Amino acid sequence: MRFSSYLAVALLQASVSVASPLEAKVLAPRSSRPHHAVSPYHPGKLFPSSPARTKTCTVKSHGKGKDDSDYILKAIKECNNGGHVIFSKETNYTIGTALDLTFLQHIDLDIQGTITFTNDTDYWQANAFKQVFQNATTFFQLGGTDVNVYGGGTLDGNGQIWYDLYAKDIYILRPILFGTIGLKGGRIEDLNLRYSPQWYNFVANSSDVVFSDLTISGGSKSSNVAKNTDGWDTYRSSNIVIQNSHIDNGDDCVSFKPNSTDIVVQNLICNGSHGISVGSLGQYLGEVDIVKNVYVYNISMSNASDGARIKVWPGISSALSGDLQGGGGSGAVSNITYDGMTISNVDYAIEITQCYGQKNLTLCNEFPSNLTISDITIRNFKGTTSKKYDPLVGYLVCSSPSVCSDITIENIDVVSPSGTDLYKCGSIAGIESQVNCAAAT
């Protein structure tokens, strides 16, 4: 896969149109489609053009916290196939019904106001859309062809009740705030995502989608932590860009789940996360997981467990927690580049493990991962790790050298609080010549 600079593809992107002027009869003003440049890197494949919209619909609200799903569906159906739907500024919309929006065609959703999902946990556990990976569910499913979502507004998942409920029962199904499911061509830009019950974005079975200029945040106001609040999880998706965004969350900033290919992640500020992660992979016996052609560039990572992270399950059944178990799946991770990361108070600057979920390393090595890791480049890192693993700054351990190869780590200027730059190393050929491996204990 080629990753080219934006200058090389700017002319290709010039064909994308902006929204047409507001019709006089429409009271709510339209936002102009932002179309942030994909820059400086690009997956190398042209994104489809998105013609100007020719009709406009404004979403009404019942007010007083009543479910506005009927008004939302009415406006979307009226403006599908060439329209612009406006969620008015300074209007609070409420959604209390699971919305299947996978029928969208050539439509812009202009969210200027605030959309809040109800806190009816019984309803959402029974009716949220069940996805096919790790018991994931979503409040809604947004998919189709040529869909743009923007406007500067806010989607609020009302997460606090879910954080408290999860602390009592880890088996509850917590909805994901934004479900991009089966979208072929689109842009999600200029939005604020707040208080998701679980992951903020799940991108599944989608292609040719750009996420740009989003802000993500929403911690717990109680002693119960907002867990598993990944910024993005990609799954069975390709030609995806995630860029120019600020993420404050409690799990992976971005995670590439099985069969994520041709992806660029760039210019992110991540705080409180578990890093930019490949995986976890190899969780399901009989499944083949592929992640390849991923470029991660210019990341600020602070107060996190990891910076760059590749996590693979071993070849034996393992349990990370009661609601997260697996191991034995196969596949491959290849052509992954992490280029440029500034870290501050991060536990491990770099972590590669093939024993995810298995605390018994002897057992893990007896049953090495069935999933290979190769052609990995990690370069141009700087900063200071946290005290957690001091004097270590990284963890580079495969379950067998036969399943890890061509791993390059260069120009890393990362030290622990005590000034060391040691890594725990194991079963990776040639790693000792690239980093300062700690002596075996």
Of residues 210, 188, 206, 268, the one with CA closest to residue 13: 210
Of residues 379, 398, 393, 388, the one with CA closest to residue 422: 393
Instruction: Give the C-alpha distances (Å, rounded to integers) separating 428 from 3, 88, 280, 397, 409.
Output: 27, 55, 19, 7, 12
Maximum C-alpha span of the chain: 75
pTM of the model: 0.93
CATH of domain 4-437: 2.160.20.10
Which residues are identified as catalytic?
A: 274
Which pLDDT tens digits describe the chain residue by residue (441 residues)?
A: 545 544 343 333 333 333 333 333 445 899 999 989 999 999 999 999 999 999 999 999 999 999 999 999 999 999 999 999 999 999 999 999 999 999 999 999 999 999 999 999 999 999 999 998 889 999 999 999 999 999 999 999 999 999 999 999 999 999 999 999 999 999 999 999 999 999 999 999 999 999 999 999 999 999 999 999 999 999 999 999 999 999 999 999 999 999 999 999 999 999 999 999 999 999 999 999 999 999 999 999 999 999 999 999 888 888 878 877 888 999 999 999 999 999 999 999 999 999 888 888 888 888 888 999 999 999 999 999 999 999 999 999 998 899 999 999 999 999 999 999 999 999 999 999 999 999 754
Contact 86, 58 (CB under 8 A): yes
* Cα 1 from Cα 63, distance rounded (Å): 50
Beta strand pairing status for 137-138 and 129-130? antiparallel
Q: Bridge partners of 280? A: none
